[in-house]
Structure 1
Amino acid sequence: MQLNDTLMLDERCATVGHTDVYSILLIDDDIELTDLVSQFLTQNGYEVRVTNHGNNAINDIETSKPDLIILDLMLPGTDGLTICKAIRPNFAGPIIMLTALIDDIDEVTGLEVGADDYLCKPIKPRVLLAHIRAQLRRQSSLIEQQQTKIVSCKGDLQIDLPNRRVQYLSQDIDLSSAEFDLLVILASSPGEIFSRERLHKRIFKLDYDPLDRSIDLRVSRLRKKLGDDPKQPRLLTTVRNKGYLLAT
C-alpha cells in the first residue's frame, strides 16, 4: 500500500499546550505503509513506534504508553476493533482508526468501541498529520481550559476533570476520551444549545461536513452510558434543527 501523496517534510508545528515530543504508536501490518508514515511523522517532530501484528498490539500499548494510537482495522491475529475495545477503558488518549474498506458499518462500529477518528486508505500524509494535530490539540486545549471539577444537573452529574472521571446519580460512568470531551463541553454551559457544527469545530478543530455523523454517534453513545432514554431524554436533549444541550 503506497501513500496517496508526495512524502514531503511538512512545517514543524508544536501542538499547543504540550512542550514535549508526542509519542505515536502506529499499528498496521503494511510494512511499506508504516515505514513511510513513520518517516513522515518523525520528520514532523513526533516519536513513532510501529507494530505490524495485532497479537502484539495490546502489550505494546501498555509498554510504550503512547499519546496517540493509529490503528488499522484489518490486522493479522487480533483485529483493530477488538484491540480498540480492549484498551479503551484504560487508554485515555486519541485513537485514529484506519481501514481499506469503504463501509459505513465499519465506521460506526469503530466509533462505538471507542475510536476518536476514522480515515480510509490510501492515506494522504498531510491529511493524516492534520487529523493527528487536531486530536492532540483537542485534548490539550480541553485540559488547559478545565477547572478541577464540573458539577451539573442539580448536582447529579459530577465530572472530575484532572482524572477524567464521571459520576452520574452517584454511579461511576466509564466513558471514552471522545465521549468525555463532548460531555465536558456540554456541561461547561448547561442549558446552552450547541450546534453540531460548533461541537465538531470545538472537538476536531476542523471544518464541519454536514454528512459527518460523528457528533450524533457520540451523543448516542453518551446517552446510552448515562442511561438517558433517547426517545424522552431528560439529561441530553436534542433541539430540533439546532443541536444539543445538557439539562441544567
Structure 2
Amino acid sequence: MVMAKVLLVDDDAELVGMLKEYLELEGFEVTTAPDGERGVALALGGQFAIVVLDMMMPRLNGLESLRRIRAASNQPVLMLTARGDDADRILGLELGADDYVPKPCTPRELTARIRAILRRTQSSLAEDVAPQMIIVGQLSLWPEQRRAEWAGETVSLTSTEFNLLEVLARHAGRPVSKNDLSEQALGRPLARFDRSIDVHLSSIRHKLGPLADGRSCIQTVYRQGYQLIRE
C-alpha cells in the first residue's frame, strides 16, 4: 500500500516532531518545513497528497503561503489556526484552504481530519456506485477524475469545493442541510458557529457565475440548508 505524503509546515519544532512521529506511526510519509517560504517551495515542487500549514510562521505567514500555493495548485491544504481566531480562519477559507484545525490540537484529531480530506480526494477510494458523470443543467462533474465544467468550461475547484458541489449535485433539486454537507464533504460534524460551509459555497458561486436570469444555481433554503437548482 502506497503511503500518502504529507507536508507539515510549522515553526514549532516540538509540535512538529510530535505530529510527525504520530502521523508516521499511522502510515503517512511526512516531510516538514520550518517556515512559509520553504513550505511553499516544497508544496509546489513535490508530490504531496496534502499540505498542513500553520497560520503564524516566520519569513512568510500561513495566509501568504496559502495564497502562493493556490496561485499554482489546487492540492488539499489544511490550516492550523489559533483557537478563536475567526477572522484569519475565514480569510484562510476564502483564499482556498480546504479546512482548518484549531491549535492546540491532538495528533489524533489532526490525523482524523487529514484522513477525512484524503478520503474524498483520492479517486482510488471513490464509491463503486458512483456514476462516471453527473449532469445538472450547465454543470458537469466527473467524480473519479475530480473534474468540473460549467457551460462547457473547466472550473478550477479546491478539494473541499468539489466535495460540496458533488454532494449538492447528487441531491439536485432538494435542499441539503449544513450538517449533512459538513459530514459528507468535510468529513466532520458541523461545529457551532462554524462558517466554513458558507465561505466555501460563496467561493463556488463566484466561480460558477450566475444563471441566465441572474440567480445563483446554489440557493439558500431557509432553515433547511442549500440546494443546487435544476434549470
Helix, strand or coil at the partner of 2:227: strand
How does 1:172-183 map onto structure 2 within 5 Å?
172-183=154-165
Deviations 1:121-178 (A, max 9, x none): 222122112211222223247961343322211xx22224344332223333222111
Post-superposition shift, 1:214? 1.2
One-letter identity of the residue aligned with 1:150: I
- Runs of at least 5 residues in structure 2 that lack an aligned partner in the other structure: none
Structure 1 residues 85 and 149: alpha-carbon distance in aligned structure 2, compared to 1, 3 A threshold: farther
Helix, strand or coil at the partner of 1:120: strand
Match of 1:148 among 104, 112, 132: 132
2:135 & 2:109 partners in 1: Cα distance? 37
Q: Would you say the 8 A contact 2:205–2:216 is kept in 1?
A: no
One-letter identity of the residue aligned with 2:217: L
Match of 2:152 among 170, 183, 186: 170
- Runs of at least 5 residues in structure 1 that lack an aligned partner in the other structure: 1-18
1:97 & 1:142 partners in 2: Cα distance? 25
One-letter identity of the residue aligned with 1:175: L
Q: Would you say the 8 A contact 1:228–1:236 is kept in 2?
A: no
One-letter identity of the residue aligned with 1:170: G
**Counterpart residue number, 1:43:** 25
Helix, strand or coil at the partner of 1:135: helix
Q: Would you say the 8 A contact 2:121–2:146 is kept in 1?
A: no
Helix, strand or coil at the partner of 1:24: strand
Post-superposition shift, 1:234? 3.8
Structure 1 residues 143 and 113: alpha-carbon distance in aligned structure 2, compared to 1, 3 A threshold: farther
Match of 1:65 among 32, 47, 68: 47
How does 1:173-212 map onto structure 2 within 5 Å?
173-212=155-194
One-letter identity of the residue aligned with 1:95: V
Q: Give identity over the alignment, percent.
A: 35
Q: Would you say the 8 A contact 1:142–1:181 is kept in 2?
A: no
Between stretches 181-190 and 134-143, larger displacement belongs to: 134-143
1:180 & 1:142 partners in 2: Cα distance? 16
Helix, strand or coil at the partner of 1:191: coil
Q: Which runs of 4+ in 1 moved over 6 A?
A: none
Q: Would you say the 8 A contact 2:123–2:145 is kept in 1?
A: no
Structure 1 residues 242 and 141: alpha-carbon distance in aligned structure 2, compared to 1, 3 A threshold: farther
**1:99 corresponds to 2:81:** yes
Aligned residues: 226
2:46 & 2:224 partners in 1: Cα distance? 42
Post-superposition shift, 1:94? 2.4
1:100 & 1:193 partners in 2: Cα distance? 33
**Counterpart residue number, 1:5:** none
One-letter identity of the residue aligned with 2:204: L
One-letter identity of the residue aligned with 2:186: F
1:196 & 1:100 partners in 2: Cα distance? 24
Q: Would you say the 8 A contact 2:116–2:187 is kept in 1?
A: yes
1:122 & 1:51 partners in 2: Cα distance? 19
One-letter identity of the residue aligned with 1:48: V
Post-superposition shift, 1:212? 1.6
**Counterpart residue number, 2:9:** 27
Helix, strand or coil at the partner of 2:89: helix
